[in-house]
C-alpha cells in the first residue's frame, strides 16, 4: 500500500463524540454562526477606544489585524476540512503537538467563551435596565441564560435556525450602516455634505497620536476578531462537514473584513476622530447622530442588544461542544461528555452555569476577583492562534505525505505565511508588554496558560504510564 493512500492519523475519540452529535446544521447556519460569535459589543462600542487612540489610522490597524485573522482562519480551515471535529483546533493541536497541547488550547478557549457569555449577559441586561429602570440586572441575565439554555438543549438544527436569524439582524444592521455612511460620504444623503478627506487629514492628521496611538488601536482591533473559530466547531455538526467548513471559512473571512474595516473607514471619514461621543457612547451612534438619523441612541441600543444576545447564544454552543470533545478524548470529567438526543446536555449546563457564576462574581467581587478574571482571558485568543499556527505547520506536511487529497483548503504560500503569522503574533506579545493595561492581561493569561500546560503534561505523563488521567 502506498503512503498516500492512508488517511492522516486522527484522534481516536473524536469520531465517537462527533457521530453521537447530530448533523443538522445547513450551510447558511454555519455562515451566520461565524458572524454571530464574533460581531458583538467589541465592534459596536469597544472600537471607540481604538479610534480615540489611533484616529483615522484605526483603518490601518483593523486592516493589519484583519489580515492576520485571515491567515489564522485559512490555517484552521485547512486543518478542519482535512479532519472535521467538534474539538476543532484542540483536536488539531493534540494530533500535531500532543495531548497536553489539545488540553491547554481547548480548556483555555472554554474558559474564554464562558466568561464572554457572562460579559455579554451583563451588557444586554444593562441595556434592558435602561429601558426598564428599577429591575435587577442579575435577573435579566438569568432570564437570558434560561432562554439560551433552551435553544442549546434543543436539537442543533433549532439552535442553528435561532442563531441564523439573530446574526442576520446584525448583518442587516451593519449593511444598512455602511450604505447610509457611503451615501453621506458621497453627499447624496439628504441633509449631508460630502466631507471629502477633511476628517482623515485634519485634527492632527491621519496618525494624530503617532505610532503609539496606532499600536493601541492595533491591540484593540486584534481581539475584536476573536470568536470566528466557532464556525469550525459547528462544522462538525453540519450536513457536509468538509464542504461546510471550507465554504464557511472562506465567506466568513471576507465578510468580517468588509464589516470591520468598512465600518471603521466610514466612521473616521464622516466623524472627527476626537469627537467625545466616539469613545463615550460609541462610534456607530456617533456616526448616525452626525448624519442626522433621529433616535440614533435607541437604534444602536437595539442593535447592540441583539448583537450581545446572538454572541451569547453562539458562545454557549461553542463552549459546550469544546468541553464535550475534550471529555471524549479523556481530557476532562466524564459527566460532561454525555450526549442525549444528539446534544451534550451536561456540557451545555456546565458552560451556562460557569458563565452565570462570572456574572455573580461581577457583583460579589467587582474590585478584585472579577477584574482578574477579565485579565485572565485577555490574551487567550492569541494563545489559541499560536496553537493553530504551530499545528498547521506540522499537520500540513504530514497530510501532504499521507493523504494529500484531504487538503481541500490550502494555506496560501505555505510555509512562508504561516511563519509570518507566528512572527506577527510574537510581535503582538511584545507590544502588549509595552502597554500597562495589556501587560496585566498578558501576565494573567500567561498564568492561566501555564497552569493548564502543567496539568496537561501531568495528565499526559500519567496516561503514557498506563495510569488513569483522572476524572
Quickly state the pLDDT bin for 468 (edges 50, 70, 90).
low
> Is the bond preceding residue 415 a cis peptide, omega within 30 degrees?
yes
Domain boundaries, the chain: 13-460
- How confident is the prediction for the chain on average, in pLDDT? 87
Q: What's residue 1's pLDDT?
A: 38
Task: Provide, rounded to the nearest whole percent, the portion of the chain with pLDDT above 90.
Answer: 51
Quickly state the pLDDT bin for 131 (edges 50, 70, 90).
very high
Distance between CA atoms of residues 439 and 219, nearest Å: 11
The pLDDT of residue 449 is above 50: yes
Tell me, letter by letter, the H, E, C secondary structure of 257-310. HHHHHHHHHHHHHHCCCCCHHHHHCCHHHHHHHHCCCCCHHHHHHHHHHHHHHH
201 Cβ contact list (under 8 Å, min separation 6): 56
CATH superfamily ID and name for 13-460: Amino acid/polyamine transporter I (1.20.1740.10)
Q: What's residue 363's pLDDT?
A: 85
Q: What's residue 6's pLDDT?
A: 37
Quickly state the pLDDT bin for 248 (edges 50, 70, 90).
confident
Distance between CA atoms of residues 107 and 285, nearest Å: 36
The pLDDT of residue 408 is above 60: yes
Quickly state the pLDDT bin for 448 (edges 50, 70, 90).
very high
Q: How many CB atoms lie within 10 A of CB 292?
A: 12
Quickly state the pLDDT bin for 317 (edges 50, 70, 90).
very high
Distance between CA atoms of residues 376 and 123, nearest Å: 19
Quickly state the pLDDT bin for 9 (edges 50, 70, 90).
very low
Q: What's residue 428's pLDDT?
A: 94
Distance between CA atoms of residues 425 and 432, nearest Å: 11
Q: What's residue 37's pLDDT?
A: 66
The pLDDT of residue 4 is above 80: no
Q: Which of 237-251, 266-280, 287-301, 354-368 has the lowest mean pLDDT?
A: 237-251
Q: What is the mean pLDDT of the segment spanning 321-337? A: 91
Quickly state the pLDDT bin for 19 (edges 50, 70, 90).
low
Question: Considering the entire predicted model, what is its pTM?
Answer: 0.90
175-208: pLDDT as tens digits:
999 999 999 999 888 877 888 888 898 888 899 9
Q: What's residue 369's pLDDT?
A: 75
- CA dist 369 → 57, 157, 319, 366, 440 (Å): 35, 37, 22, 7, 14
- CA dist 306 → 49, 141, 245, 278, 365 (Å): 22, 14, 25, 21, 28
The pLDDT of residue 407 is above 60: yes
Q: What's residue 254's pLDDT?
A: 80
More confident residue, 4 or 276: 276
Q: How many CB atoms lie within 10 A of CB 136?
A: 11
Quickly state the pLDDT bin for 8 (edges 50, 70, 90).
very low
Q: What's residue 7's pLDDT?
A: 39
Phi, psi of 377 (to 5 degrees): -95, 0
Amino acid at each position: 500500500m502506498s503512503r498516500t493512500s492512508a488517511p492522516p492519523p486522527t484522534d481516536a475519540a473524536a469520531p465517537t463524540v462527533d457521530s453521537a452529535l447530530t448533523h443538522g446544521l445547513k450551510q447558511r447556519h454555519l455562515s451566520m454562526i461565524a458572524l454571530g460569535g464574533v460581531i458583538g459589543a467589541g465592534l459596536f462600542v469597544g472600537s471607540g477606544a481604538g479610534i480615540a487612540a489611533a484616529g483615522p489610522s484605526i483603518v490601518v490597524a483593523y486592516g493589519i489585524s484583519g489580515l492576520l485573522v485571515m491567515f489564522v482562519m485559512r490555517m484552521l480551515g485547512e486543518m478542519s476540512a482535512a479532519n472535521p471535529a467538534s474539538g476543532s483546533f484542540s483536536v488539531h493541536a493534540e494530533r500535531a503537538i500532543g495531548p497536553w497541547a489539545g488540553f491547554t488550547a481547548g480548556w483555555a478557549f472554554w474558559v474564554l467563551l464562558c466568561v464572554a457569555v457572562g460579559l455579554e449577559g451583563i451588557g444586554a441586561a444593562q441595556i434592558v435596565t435602561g429601558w426598564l429602570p428599577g429591575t435587577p440586572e442579575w435577573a435579566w441575565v438569568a432570564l437570558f441564560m434560561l432562554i439560551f439554555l433552551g435553544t442549546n438543549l434543543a436539537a442543533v438544527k433549532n439552535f442553528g435556525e435561532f442563531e441564523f436569524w439573530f446574526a442576520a439582524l446584525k448583518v442587516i444592521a451593519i449593511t444598512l450602516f455602511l450604505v447610509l455612511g457611503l451615501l453621506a460620504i458621497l453627499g447624496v444623503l439628504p441633509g449631508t455634505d460630502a466631507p471629502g478627506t477633511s476628517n482623515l487629514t485634519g485634527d492632527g492628521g491621519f496618525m494624530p497620536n503617532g505610532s503609539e496611538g496606532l499600536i493601541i488601536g492595533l491591540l484593540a482591533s486584534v481581539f475584536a476578531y476573536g470568536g470566528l473559530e466557532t464556525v469550525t466547531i459547528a462544522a462538525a455538526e453540519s450536513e457536509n462537514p468538509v464542504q461546510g467548513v471550507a465554504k464557511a471559512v472562506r465567506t466568513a473571512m471576507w465578510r468580517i473584513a468588509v464589516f470591520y474595516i468598512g465600518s471603521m473607514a466610514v466612521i473616521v471619514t464622516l466623524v472627527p476622530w476626537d469627537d467625545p461621543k466616539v469613545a463615550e457612547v460609541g462610534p456607530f451612534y456617533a456616526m448616525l447622530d452626525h448624519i442626522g438619523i433621529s433616535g440614533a441612541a435607541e437604534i444602536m441600543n437595539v442593535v447592540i442588544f441583539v448583537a450581545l444576545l446572538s454572541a451569547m447564544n453562539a458562545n454557549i454552543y461553542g463552549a459546550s461542544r469544546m468541553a464535550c470533545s475534550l471529555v471524549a478524548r479523556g481530557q476532562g470529567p466524564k459527566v460532561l461528555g454525555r450526549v442525549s438526543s444528539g446534544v451534550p446536555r451536561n456540557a451545555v449546563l456546565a458552560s451556562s452555569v460557569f458563565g452565570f457564576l462570572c456574572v455573580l462574581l461581577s457583583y460579589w467581587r467587582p474590585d478584585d476577583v472579577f477584574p482578574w478574571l477579565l485579565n485572565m482571558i485577555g490574551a487567550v485568543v492569541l494563545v489559541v492562534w499560536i496553537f493553530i499556527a504551530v499545528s498547521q505547520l506540522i499537520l500540513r506536511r504530514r497530510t501532504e505525505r499521507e493523504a494529500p487529497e484531504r487538503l481541500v483548503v490550502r494555506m496560501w504560500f505555505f510555509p512562508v505565511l504561516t511563519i509570518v503569522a507566528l512572527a506577527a503574533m510574537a510581535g503582538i506579545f511584545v507590544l502588549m508588554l509595552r502597554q500597562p493595561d495589556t501587560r496585566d492581561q498578558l501576565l494573567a493569561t500567561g498564568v492561566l496558560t501555564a497552569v493548564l500546560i502543567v496539568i496537561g503534561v501531568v495528565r499526559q505523563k500519567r496516561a503514557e504510564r498506563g495510569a488513569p488521567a483522572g476524572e
